[in-house]
Amino acid sequence: MLHCLALDLKDDPALIAEYEAHHRAVWPEVLAHLRAHGVLKLDIFRLGTRMVMLMETDDAVFDPARMAAAEHEDPRIAAWEALMWRFQAPTPFTPEGQKWTPMQQIFHLSDES
């Protein structure tokens, strides 16, 4: 399944540069965590402070609630998430207590369209 999520960055060029640097060297534990929870592909795009994540998952394995719980249970993953929150900010449309927020698909072009 394809998931599209949005998140903002704090409007600070130095923080944005540091955030991007971290994503050029994502911790191996984070990569293993994603794969273990059924994430097959993941891309993050940025326009100004707005980010969009495209995440392809294996529906037989992927469970967002289980993945979120594991993020809190694993100290290394929790440390990565805390570090990333230094740079991130919720969008104006993000519910309280959430980070990456699912976007609603409004159009899809396929061979059948």
Boundaries of every domain in the chain: 2-91
Q: What is the pLDDT along the chain (113 residues), one digit of tens a residue?
A: 999 999 999 999 999 999 999 999 999 999 999 999 999 999 999 999 999 999 999 999 999 999 999 999 999 999 999 999 999 999 999 999 899 999 999 999 988 76
Q: Which one is the CATH code of 2-91: 3.30.70.270, 3.30.70.1230, 3.30.70.1090, 3.30.300.130?
A: 3.30.70.1090
The pTM of this model reads 0.91
Q: How far is CA 84 from each of CA 12, 57, 59, 62, rounded to the nearest angstrom?
A: 14, 22, 26, 22
Q: How many CA atoms lie within 13 A of 77 on its CB side?
A: 16
**Tell me, what's the pLDDT at 112?**
77
Q: What is the pLDDT of residue 113?
A: 66
Helices and strands (H and E) in the chain: how many = 4, 5
**Count of all residues that appear for the chain in the document:** 113
